[in-house]
């Protein structure tokens, strides 16, 4: 769908998968009743750098997974914003954190319960997913971070890695579009801002909030491995229920992310794999 976003100040696209009765259901003899008032569990799925709302539909089997597990999937487009409000322009974080959920809950049959809402993202989207989970622990029961985690000052966002071995001697800059992009995150991007996700994570523990479950999946040859390992280690130490899987032989690639979605939806996330009917769950 396409709509005029107040937070962004422009038209924007969002791709939404609403599960239906599928060919797989028919082959397995399953029935799906369409009942007024029925809702679905929901996964907000965030793209990575240089991507858009069509990435997961184009490069993974998310449409089939949505039908199989009867989960609504919401995929916004935020360009290369790092899921962050710009000072003099589009408010991308406000959009994904506030405006988009309100709009989708008004337009689509989505469950409002915390236990039915999840967020996931890959690479840059892993920062967005973790950011949403930590700032809105009352909204999301779990978060899946694929090939990454939120950024931290002093922690390189990318480290050349082969089979789990880190190459810290490599120049801390990489060529991007003919220029150079630092691998170390600018502290000004973090300190005192909503991007200080780890401070929010600690605050949740100190305030004894209900903590989301956190899942991490990354390849052992992924440049985001170091950042992922450090994030999972600290969050587990602080009291979060975490799960980490490092996949041998994989890097920063769609095969990993498609497989990660399938693993998360079949094993990790607490999915009902059926619509939520009013008479059964009182919604």
Residue 179, pLDDT score:
36
Token pair, residue 196, equals 């200080």
**Collapsing DSSP states into helix, strand and coil, what is residue 183?**
coil
Contact 183, 158 (CB under 8 A): yes
Phi, psi (rounded to 5 degrees) for 41: -65, 155
Residue 245, pLDDT score:
98
Residue 183, pLDDT score:
65
Q: 280: pLDDT confidence band, cut at 50, 70 and 90?
A: low
Would the pLDDT of 17 be above 90? yes
Mean pLDDT of the region 173-179: 43
Residue 176, pLDDT score:
41
Q: 210: pLDDT confidence band, cut at 50, 70 and 90?
A: very high
Rama region for 240: left / alpha / beta (φ>0; ψ in -120 to 50; rest) = beta
Whole-angstrom Cα Rg for the chain: 19
Q: How far apart are the C-alpha atoms of 242 and 240, rounded to whole Å?
A: 6
Residue 178, pLDDT score:
39
- The H-assigned helical ranges of 95-154 are 100-107, 124-135
Residue 141, pLDDT score:
98
104 vs 169, residue with greater confidence: 104
Q: 87: pLDDT confidence band, cut at 50, 70 and 90?
A: confident
At 35-68, the pLDDT tens digits run 999 999 999 999 999 999 999 999 999 999 999 9
From the list 109, 81, 110, 113, the residue with the least C-alpha distance to 12 is 81
Which of 152-168 are b and which e, b meaning 16 or more Cβ less than 10 Å from the residue's Cβ?
A: beebbbbbbbeeeeeee
Contact 172, 184 (CB under 8 A): yes
At 133-154, the pLDDT tens digits run 999 999 999 999 999 999 998 8
> To the nearest whole number, what is the mean pLDDT of the chain?
92
Reported pTM: 0.93
């Amino acid at each position: 769908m396409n709509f005029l976003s107040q937070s962004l100040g422009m038209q924007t696209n969002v791709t939404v998968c609403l599960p239906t009765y599928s060919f797989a259901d028919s082959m397995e003899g399953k029935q799906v009743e369409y009942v007024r008032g029925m809702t679905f569990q929901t996964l907000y799925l965030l793209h990575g750098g240089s991507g858009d709302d069509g990435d997961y539909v184009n490069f993974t089997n998310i449409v089939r997974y949505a039908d199989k597990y009867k989960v609504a999937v919401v995929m916004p487009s935020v360009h290369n914003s790092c899921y962050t409000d710009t000072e003099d322009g589009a408010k991308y974080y406000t959009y994904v954190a506030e405006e988009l959920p309100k709009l989708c809950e008004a337009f689509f049959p989505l469950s409002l319960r915390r236990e039915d809402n999840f967020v996931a993202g890959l690479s840059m989207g892993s920062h967005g997913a973790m950011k949403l989970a930590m700032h809105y622990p009352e909204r999301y029961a779990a978060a899946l971070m694929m090939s990454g985690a939120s950024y931290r000052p002093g922690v390189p966002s990318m480290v050349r890695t082969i089979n789990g071995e880190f190459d810290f001697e490599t120049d801390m800059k990489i060529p991007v579009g003919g220029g150079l992009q630092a691998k170390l995150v600018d502290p000004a991007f973090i300190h005192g801002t909503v991007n200080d996700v780890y401070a929010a994570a600690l605050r949740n523990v100190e305030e004894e909030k209900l903590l989301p479950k956190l899942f991490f999946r990354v390849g052992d040859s992924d440049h985001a491995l170091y950042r992922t390992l450090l994030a999972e280690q600290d969050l587990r130490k602080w009291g979060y229920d975490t799960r980490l899987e490092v996949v041998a032989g994989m890097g920063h690639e769609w095969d990993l992310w498609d497989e990660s979605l399938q693993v998360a939806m079949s094993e990790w996330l607490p999915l009902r794999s059926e619509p939520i009917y009013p008479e059964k769950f009182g919604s």
